[in-house]
Amino acid sequence: MLIIVMGLPGSGKSYFARRLAKQLGAVYVGSDELRRKMGLLGKYKIENRISVYNEMIKTSKELLIKGEDVVMDGTFYLQFMRDMAICMAKTLSFEVFIILVEAEDTLIGQRLSMPREDSEADLAVHYQIKGEFDPLSEPHLLIQSTNENLEENLEKAKHFLEKVN
């Protein structure tokens, strides 16, 4: 099973995705970690983003083939990025689930103003991606992130995955 956790920088998607992967016993594959490993920190040109997403998909494919469930974490703000991941999983006959994480703008601003271990994206990157975000047409679960509702959102996600299965 492939679970795509997506959303804007500062939405809480990475924090949520890591905890969801842990609770499900799945492998976490995050765009920020891969960007760091690839030496592309702070490099947000489209060709760099595509390289990171290609590596995420390659890594996830290898894990799925080995029998692992995978939680992919990234903005997935462009339709073709989502299509690449979905196509890879469906070609291999794996189920795909999408979880969109959103948060209030004021909370996103607070989160992005603090140093974070998982990303160097700032408010400028947030607004750039927000302006380019392709509408989500695939079936998905929408989660509203606050600083107090992680457990509730994890339960919603697990219920969504069970219900769809």
State the pTM of this model. 0.91
* C-alpha angle 103-120-115 in degrees, rounded to nearest 5: 75
Average per-residue pLDDT in the chain? 90
Domain locations along the chain: 2-164
The answer, yes or no, to whether residue 165 has pLDDT greater than 60, is no
The answer, yes or no, to whether residue 116 has pLDDT greater than 90, is no
> In terms of CATH architecture, what is 2-164?
3-Layer(aba) Sandwich (3.40)
Confidence of residue 128 (pLDDT cuts 50, 70, 90): confident
Q: What residues pair up with 19 in beta bridges, in sequence order?
A: none
Express each pLDDT in 16-73 by its tens digit: 999 999 999 999 999 988 988 988 776 767 888 899 999 999 999 999 999 999 999 9
Identity of the residue numbered 103: A
Beta-carbon count within 10 A of 36 CB? 15
